[in-house]
Structure 1
């Protein structure tokens, strides 16, 4: 694995005089919120994240987004193709898994 110094040396060896700054936003800024949960809720969030194949922050963000959405709202939603494929794969896997 290269060290930080190796990475800095590699950057120094390049001619950056023709470089252009990309100022287009790639996604909205995210703000970190810290919450305290009782052990049973924290365990539920972790279990749900494992079931969905994601991490706890994605589960919590989804719950907050649903709670903040007005009733009856039918906005168009954009989903990354990889996220859609993962969700479909997980749904199919759960549907064909033998009952335990």
Structure 2
């Protein structure tokens, strides 16, 4: 599995009913917990005062990440994602020695 830094911005179209947005957001929370349990979503943050998220996600490659991981999120049709593949750094203080 490879780690990816993913910055996600969600933009809900103005013509989507609030009930649909609420339904998808609730389903998104459930799916995020499932992906975390599967080891696909490792960490997730939201910058203070912003509506985007930044997370560390795991997949075999970027294609799998986009289709089989991020693509399963209920809000995905309204998301844009900037994906950056990550590799270990030799000076990472959190890396196993």
Q: TM-score, normalised by structure 2?
A: 0.24
Which structure has the highest strand share of the two? Answer: 2
Larger radius of gyration: 1
Which structure has the highest helix share of the two? Answer: 1
Structure with higher RCO (Cα < 8 A, 6+ apart): 2
